[in-house]
Structure 1
Amino acid sequence: MRIKNGRRTSVALLAFSALIAFAPLHAAESGYKTPPAPIAQILDAAPTPSVMVSPERKVMALLGRENLPSIAAVSEPILRLAGYRINPRNNGPIEARALWLNSLSFEDVATGKVREVALPKGTRFLTPRWSADGSKLAFLADADGGLALWVVDVKTATATKLTDGIVNAAFSASFDWTPDGQALLIPAIVAGRGAPPVEDTTPTGPIVQESKGRSAAIRTYQDLLGNAHDEALFDYYFTSQLTRVAFDGTTKTIGQPAIYAGIAVSPDGKYLLTTKLKRPYSYLVPAGRFPTEIAVSTIDGQPVKVLADRPLTDNLPAAFDAVPVGVRSVSWRSDAPSTLVWAEAQDGGNPKTKVAIHDSLFTLNAPFDGAPVKLIDLEQRYAGLDWGRTDVALVTSRWFDTRNEKLFLIDPSKPGTGKVIGDRNYQDRYNDPGSVVSRRTKDGETVLHFTPDGKSVFVTGSGASAAGEFPFVGQMSLADGKVTRLWQSAAPYYEAPVALADEAGKTVITRRESKTDAPNYFIRPVATSSKPRALTAFPDRAPQFAGVSKQTITYQRADGVKLSGTLYLPAGYDKAKDGPLPLLMWAYPEEFTDASVAGQTVDSGNRFTRPGGISHLFLLTQGYAVLDGPSMPIIGKDGAEPNDTYVEQLTASAKAAVDAVVALGVADRNRIAVGGHSYGAFMTANLLAHTDLFRAGIARSGAYNRTLTPFGFQSEQRTYWEATKTYTEMSPFTYVRNIKDPILLIHGEADDNSGTFPVQSERFYAALKGAGANVRYVVLPNEAHGYRARESTLHTLWEMTDWLDKYVKNAPPRPAKKD
Structure 2
Amino acid sequence: MKPKHLALAAAAIAASAAVAQTAIKYQKPPEAIEKLVGAQPIPTASLSPDRKLLLIGLPDGYPTIAEVAEPRMRLAGLRFNPTTYSPSVDSYRTALSFQPLDGGPARKIAGLPTPLKVTDVLWSPDSKHIAIVQRFEKTAKTAPGLKLYIVDVASATAHPLAATLKLNSVLNGSPCEWMPASTGLLCKTVPTARPAAPKPSEVPTGPHVSENLGKATPAPTYEDMLATPDDEDQFEYYATAQLTEIPLSGAPKTILKSAVLDNVEVSPDGKYALVSIVHRPFSYTVPYERFPMLTELVELKTGKTIHLNDRPVIDNLPIVRDAVPTGPRSYEWRSDAPATLVWDEAADGGDPRTKVEIRDRIMKLDAPFVAQPTVLLELPMRPARRIVWGNDHLALIAVSRWADRKAAMLSFDPSTNGTAKTKTLWEGSSQDRYHSPGMPVTVPNAAGKRVLALTPDASAIYFFSPGASPKGDYPFVATLPVDGGKPTILSRAADPYFTEPIALLGDDRVLVRRESQTEPPNYFVQTMKGRVAPIAVTHFPSPYAGIAMPTRQLLHYKRADGVDLSAVLWTPAGYDKSQGALPTLLEAYPAEFKTRAAASQVSGSTNRFVTFGWGTPVFFTQTGYAVLQNTSIPIIGEGDALPNDTYVEQLVASAKAAIDYSSSLGVVDPTRVGVMGHSYGAFMTANLLAHSNLFRAGIARSGAYNRTLTPYGFQNEDRTYWQAPQVYFNMSPFSFADKIKTPILLIHGEADDNTGTFPIQSERFYAALKGQGATVRLVFLPLEPHHYGAKESVDHMLWEMERWLDTYVKPKEPVAAAK
Fold conserved between structures, TM > 0.5? yes
Aligned counterparts, 1:169-318, within 5 A: 169-172=169-172, 173-248=174-249, 250-300=251-301, 302-318=303-319
Amino acid in the other structure paired with 2:117: R
The answer as to whether partners of 1:163 and 1:249 remain within 8 angstroms in 2 is no
- Partner of residue 49, structure 1: 43
Q: Which residue of 2 aligns with 1:9?
A: none
1:101 paired residue number: 93
Equivalent residue for 2:409?
407
SS at match of 2:166: strand
Q: Letter of the aligned partner of 1:185 in structure 2?
A: L
Instruction: Give, in angstroms, the shift of residue 371 of structure 1.
Output: 1.6
User: What is aligned with 1:647?
Assistant: 648
**Equivalent-residue separation in structure 1 for 2:372 and 2:122 (angstroms):** 36
Unaligned runs of 5+ in 1: 1-15
Give the match for residue 448 of structure 2: 444
Contact 2:49 2:448 in 1 (8 A): no
Among 562, 566, 569, the residue aligned to 2:568:
566
Aligned position for 2:147: 148
Question: Residue 786 of structure 1: CA displacement?
Answer: 0.6
1:498 matches 2:502: yes
Shift of residue 615 of structure 1?
A: 2.1
Query: Does 1:423 find its partner at 2:415?
Result: no
Which deviates further from its counterpart, 673-682 or 472-481? 472-481
Query: Structure 1 808/305 Cα, relative in aligned 2: closer, same or farther at 3 Å?
Result: same
Find the counterpart in structure 2 of residue 167 from structure 1.
167
Query: 1:467, 1:624 → 2: CA distance?
Result: 25
The amino acid of 2:472's aligned partner reads: G
Amino acid in structure 2 at the alignment position of 1:514: S
Kindly state the Cα deviation for residue 224 of structure 1 after the two structures are TM-superposed: 0.6
Between Structure 1 and Structure 2, how many residues are aligned? 793
Give the alignment partner of residue 117 of structure 2, picking from 104, 111, 124. Answer: 124
**1:521 aligned residue (523, 529, 553):** 523
1:85 is matched by which residue type in structure 2? R
One-letter identity of the residue aligned with 1:39: I
Q: Which amino acid aligns with 1:168?
A: N
Give the Cα separation in 1 of the matches to 2:341 and 2:551: 53
Give the drift of 1:468: 2.6
8 Å CA contact retained: 1:60, 1:108: yes
Counterparts in 2 of 1:22 and 1:492: CA distance versus 1, 3 Å: closer
Residue identity matched to 1:465 = S
Residue of structure 2 in register with 1:476 after alignment: 480
Structure 1 distance, partners of 2:13, 2:799, is: 26
Contact 1:523-1:534 at 8 Å conserved across structures: yes
Residues 765-787 of structure 1: CA deviation (Å, up to 9, x unaligned)? 00000000000000000000011
Aligned pairs for 1:605-620 (under 5 A) are 605-620=606-621
CA deviation string 1:31-90 (max 9, x = no partner): 000100122222222211110111111000000121110000001121011001001120
Aligned partners of 2:180 and 2:446 also within 8 Å: no
Q: Displacement of 1:672 after TM fit?
A: 0.3
Question: Residues of 1 paired with 2:231 and 2:758: CA distance?
Answer: 20
- Of 120, 126, 133, the residue aligned with 2:126 is 133
Deviations 1:744-798 (A, max 9, x none): 0000000000000000001000000000000000000000001100000100000
Provide the rounded CA distance (Å) in 2 between the counterparts of 1:250 and 1:802: 60
For the residue of structure 1 that corresponds to 2:635, the secondary structure is strand
| Farther off after superposition, 398-407 or 786-795 | 398-407
Secondary structure of 2:605's counterpart equals coil
Q: What fraction of aligned residue pairs are identical, expressed as a percent?
A: 46
Q: Is the 8 A contact 1:272 1:301 kept in 2?
A: no
Structure 2 counterpart of 1:63: 57
Write the distance in 1 (CA, Å) between the matches of 2:33 and 2:742: 27
Distance (Å, rounded) in 2 between the aligned partners of 1:557 and 1:23 = 41
- The equivalent of 2:490 in structure 1 is 486
Contact 1:307 1:327 in 2 (8 A): no
Three-state SS of the structure 2 residue aligned to 1:77 is: coil
> Taking structure 1 as reference, are residues 113 and 21 closer, same or farther at Cα in structure 2, changes over 3 Å only?
closer
Mapping 1:621-640, distance limit 5 Å:
621-640=622-641
Q: What residue in structure 2 maps to residue 6 of structure 1?
A: none
Distance 1:43 1:813 in 2: 30
> Cα distance, 1:304 vs. partner?
4.2
Aligned to 2:542: 540
Instruction: Provide the secondary structure at the position in 2 that maps to 1:801.
Output: helix
**2:353 aligned counterpart, secondary structure:** coil
Q: CA deviation at 1:290?
A: 0.5
SS at match of 1:469: coil
Provide the secondary structure at the position in 2 that maps to 1:112: coil
Match of 1:120, as an amino acid?
P
**Structure 2 unpaired stretches of 5+:** 1-6, 137-142
Counterpart residue identity of residue 109, structure 1: L
How do 1:630-779 residues align onto structure 2 when only pairs under 5 Å count?
Answer: 630-779=631-780
Q: Which amino acid aligns with 1:475?
A: T
Give the aligned partner of residue 397 of structure 1: 399
CA offset at residue 204 of structure 1? 1.4
The Cα shift of 1:181 comes to 0.3
Cα deviation for residue 250 of structure 1 reads 2.2
* Cα displacement string for residues 428-460 of structure 1 (whole angstroms, at most 9, x for unaligned residues): 111010110111122433210110010111111
Q: Which has the higher contact order (CA 8 A, sep 6+)?
A: 2
> What secondary structure sits across from 1:429 in the alignment?
coil
Distance 1:197 1:124 in 2: 29
Q: Which residue of 2 aligns with 1:115?
A: 107
Residues 695 and 742 of structure 2 are in contact (CA less than 8 Å); yes or no, is this contact kept in structure 1? Answer: yes
Cα distance change, pair 756–573 in 1 and its aligned pair in 2 (3 A): same
Q: Secondary structure of the equivalent of 1:718?
A: coil
Other structure's SS at 1:750 match: coil
After TM superposition, list the pairs within 5 Å mapping 1:584-599 onto structure 2. Answer: 584-599=585-600
Distance 1:639 1:249 in 2: 64
Cα distance, 1:406 vs structure 2? 1.3
164-173 vs 255-264, greater mean Cα deviation: 164-173
The CA deviation string for residues 134-181 of structure 1, in whole angstroms up to 9 with x for no partner, is 111111101244310111011110001113461001012331100000
Cα shift readout 1:374-396 (whole Å, capped 9, x = no counterpart): 11111111123100000000111
Q: Deviations over 1:179-213 (max 9, x none)?
A: 00011011011112232111112111111111111
For 2:58 and 2:169, the matched residues in 1 are separated by: 22
- Calculate the TM-score normalised by the size of structure 1: 0.95
What is the CA RMSD across the aligned residues, in angstroms?
1.7
Between stretches 432-441 and 754-763, larger displacement belongs to: 432-441
- Give the aligned partner of residue 327 of structure 2: 326
Q: Report SS of the residue matched to 2:688.
A: helix
Letter in 1 for 2:98: F
Normalised by the length of structure 2, the TM-score is 0.95
Alignment of 1:364-375 (within 5 A): 364-375=365-376
The 8 Å contact of residues 218 and 711 in structure 1, kept in 2 or not, is answered as yes
Output the CA distance in 1 between the equivalents of 2:800 and 2:671. 21
CA contact (8 A) 1:241 1:258 kept: yes
Q: Any conservation in 1 of the 2:177–2:186 contact (CA below 8 Å)?
A: yes
Letter paired with 1:609: V
Q: Which residue of 1 aligns with 2:34?
A: 40
| Cα pair 2:191 2:257 within 8 Å, conserved | no
Shift in Å, 1:529: 3.0
Higher mean alpha-carbon deviation, 429-438 vs 805-814, is at 805-814
Label 1:398 to 1:603 Cα distance change in 2 as closer, same or farther (>3 A): closer
Residue 126 of structure 1: SS of its match in structure 2?
Answer: strand
In structure 2, do the counterparts of structure 1 residues 403 and 360 end up closer, same or farther at CA, with 3 Å as the change threshold? Answer: same
- The separation in 2 between residues aligned to 1:89 and 1:542, in whole angstroms, is 37
Give the distance between the partners of 2:628 and 2:531, measured in 1 at CA.
36
- Indicate how the Cα distance of structure 1 residues 29 and 22 shifts in structure 2: closer, same or farther if over 3 A, else same: closer
CA shift for structure 1 position 601: 2.3
| Contact 2:807 2:815 (8 Å CA) reproduced | no
